[in-house]
Amino acid sequence: MTSIETQIQQQPRVPQSLLQMTEPIQDLLETASLYLHVPFCHTRCFYCDFNTFAGMLPLREPYVRALLTEIALAGQQAQHEDGRKRRSRTIFLGGGTPSLLNVNQITRILTACFQSFAVDENAEITMEANPGTLNQEQLQGIRKVGINRLSMGAQSMDAKLLKTLGRIHSPAEIVQAVRFARAAGFSSINLDFMFGLPEQTMQHWQETLKQALDLRPEHLSLYSLIVEEGTPFMDWFKEGRIIPGDEDLCADMYEYADELLRQAGYVNYEISNWALPGYHSQHNLTYWQNLPYIGMGTGAASSFANRRFSNEREPATYIKTLKSGRLPEVESEIVEHAQAMSETAFLGLRTAMGIHLPTFETRFKETFAQFVGNRLQRVEEAGLLEYEDGWLRLSDRGRLLGNEVFMRLLPE
Ligand code: SF4
């Protein structure tokens, strides 16, 4: 056995850095991560069902002005009773295509966040970008104003498959965007890729992963294609014009990627996410640990102060609402205590770390074992769970069964 094989075999599945709770849960529950949605795209990709709009680029400036108003109003609403600003550990500009905004607009959005929230000095500040919309000057500009993590929708390294998806960029532009980002000083880059695409073979996938690893991104998100209602892909699927990869091929592609990335030093810390040690996404962990977040912009969702709420989805209506000085909230529900427990457990079990049992008990004033009752023993006996240093997580067998374990374990 070579030394690298020995190292891999000895490597724990979850590194210590991920098994340490960075702060007491009561402090984390007092924070709010910020998500800012930018709903514009040049054109719509054929598979996309996100709340995004093509042909609306002239609305960018009025939209940014509305977003600034929302940030100020949301900041006021989220203040503590004694008037202190709400602390934020992460900011995420997502979309849509935030890289369609200019540096001035991004600067104003970040400044508004810093004015209305107490943003940590070392906060993780991510921006999503489409490789077809980036240039060196813009990347230098956004790095300078505080964006310290870049997340790019690369999707494939195969030119033909990118066309099939309706992407506006080429594989060469992905490579160039990463080079520009490195030159601009980005030391934390995520690349998104998709598998199970129509006519994508195992060989295409292997080649994409090889080329992706040559770029040495700190983080990779790999998603299998889901054909969503209301997309051109769904119409073409129904007409028999496209056939996505079947379940077996997708499972093989996932396993191949997991093994390859593990050998390359990445940790699979959530079902679809791999990171080099220390580069897991703090913002995404906010969602998976069921911590508070405030979403702003069209269609953005929030989970804050025991409430889940979401915004108006359509840009013109969103802008009009904020012009009149009102928050654009359109849907809201109270999150009951038991629901919060169930969701925290479900989300935690999707991660490689699992659920931190002492934290769960401190947070909900009840142990996890009390919460799930005698279901726990049955699932344990089936070998679907494992424990390590206070963490409870799915065993390898449990990970294979995924949703079935959740159904067996969690109260309805
Ligand atoms: S660039 Fe992203 S958000 Fe925009 S249409 Fe394509 S997949 Fe959807």
C-beta of residue 103 within 8 angstroms of C-beta of residue 146: no
- Here the tokens at position 385 are 């769970």
Ligand 1 atom with the shortest distance to the CA of 153: 2
CA of 123 relative to ligand 1 center, distance in Å: 26
Domain range annotation of the chain: 31-288, 354-409
DSSP 16-44: GGGSS-SS-HHHHTTB-EEEEEE-EESS-
Is the minimum distance from the CB of 299 to ligand 1 under 6 angstroms?
A: no
- At 315 the pLDDT is 98
| Mean pLDDT computed over 190-212 | 98
The predicted structure's pLDDT at residue 98? 97
Residue 3's pLDDT band (boundaries 50, 70, 90)?
Answer: very low
Ligand 1 center–CA 281 separation, angstroms: 21
Percentage of the chain exceeding pLDDT 90? 84
Cα dihedral 53, 57, 59, 63, rounded to 10, equals: 70
Does ligand 1 lie within 6 Å of residue 354's CB atom? no
- Tell me, in angstroms, the distance from the centre of ligand 1 to residue 48's CA: 6
Q: How far is the CA of 258 from the centre of ligand 1 (A)?
A: 25
Mean pLDDT value across residues 380-406: 87
Annotated binding-site residues for S-adenosyl-L-methionine read 35, 95-97, 128, 155, 167, 192
Calpha distance 22→272 (Å, rounded): 23
Q: To which H or E segment does residue 178 belong? A: helix 171-183
* 92 pLDDT above the threshold of 70: yes
The per-residue pLDDT for range 96-133, each reduced to its tens digit, is: 999 999 999 999 999 999 999 999 999 999 999 999 88
Phi, psi dihedral angles at 122 (to 5 degrees) = -100, 30
> Region 27-35: what's the mean pLDDT?
97
| Mean pLDDT, residues 320-329 taken together | 97
Q: What pLDDT does residue 16 have?
A: 65
Q: What is the mean pLDDT of the chain?
A: 93
Say what the pLDDT of residue 306 is: 96
Model confidence at 147, pLDDT cuts 50, 70, 90, reads: very high
Question: In whole angstroms, what is the distance from residue 394 CA to residue 392 CA?
Answer: 7
Residue range 31-288 forms a domain whose CATH class is alpha beta
Each residue of 339-358: b (16+ CB within 10 Å) or e? eebbebbbbbbbbbbbbbbe
Does residue 97's CB lie within 6 angstroms of at least one atom of ligand 1? yes
pLDDT surpassing 60 at residue 12: no
Please check the confidence at residue 261 and state whether its pLDDT lies above 70: yes
Residue of the nearest CA to atom 3 in ligand 1?
Answer: 96
* Strand-pair partners of 90: 124
Is the pLDDT assigned to residue 1 strictly greater than 70?
A: no
CA angle 42, 36, 150 (to 5 degrees): 70
Rg from Cα positions in the chain = 22
pLDDT for res 403: 80
DSSP string for 50-80: SS-EES-GGGHHHHHHHHHHHHHHHHHHHS-
DSSP class per residue in 343-386: HHHHHHHHBSS-EEHHHHHHHHSS-HHHHHTTHHHHHHHTT-EE
Per the annotation, binding residues are: 35, 41, 45, 48, 95-97, 128, 155, 167, 192
The helix/strand/coil state of 224 is: strand
13 pLDDT band (50/70/90 cuts)? Answer: low
Cβ-proximal residues to 396 (8 Å cutoff; 6+ apart), any chain: none
Verify whether ligand 1 is closer than 6 Å to residue 223 (CB atom).
no
